[in-house]
Amino acid sequence: MPVRYRQSDLFLIPVAEGEFSLGRVVLKMRGGNVLVAIYSELAESVEAVDLGRLSISRPVFLVETMDLRLKDGTWRVAGNWTPPTELSIPVCKTQVEPGGDFFAQHIDGSIGRRLTPDEAARLKKQKSFSPMLVEKAAQAFQGVESWLPVFDEIRIGERA
């Protein structure tokens, strides 16, 4: 039976034996996708999650992925948590016609206003990444796996 999860649920991603990275469901989307934030903090278990420390942290990854690992219980839900400061939902760019102007695209797929060339140059196209890649990125951030260039696409800010 699939595990139920909600927006703002905190979950654990296996990083190494007895160590888990902390993630949070920022937004549940249609079609089984979720926008998740992955934090730098590690926990040994659900009970060992330190929300006080997590409250002052900024996520290291913000990524759209499928909810498969949440539903199958690989990413174990630890409870519901809303941070003191909510993350901004990213806006992407899209073209309505090949070679045409760029428009703002919201994470739900809706199309907004036409973008200026400068705005379009700063925004990325919407992209979803596999749950396994998200796990590997969390492991690489903790030094358990090698860093791959694709992880830079989901990293918030500069790589340390």
Residue appearing with tokens 């469901």 = 25
Residue 40 lies in a domain: yes
Segment 3-34, tens digit of pLDDT: 899 999 999 999 999 999 999 999 999 889 99
Q: What is the pTM of this model?
A: 0.86
Which structural domain, as residue segments, surrounds residue 59?
9-85+128-153
Number of folded domains in the chain? Answer: 1
What is the token pair recorded at 111? 């199309």
Tell me the helix, strand and coil percentages in the chain, rounded to 5: 25, 35, 40
Residue 37 lies in a domain: yes
Model pLDDT for residues 71-127, shown as the tens digit of each residue: 999 999 998 998 877 778 888 899 988 889 999 998 888 899 999 999 999 998 989
Measured between alpha carbons, how far is residue 67 from residues 72, 87, 116, 122 in Å?
9, 19, 34, 28
Residue 99 lies in a domain: no
Are 81 and 8 in contact by the 8 Å Cβ rule? The answer is yes
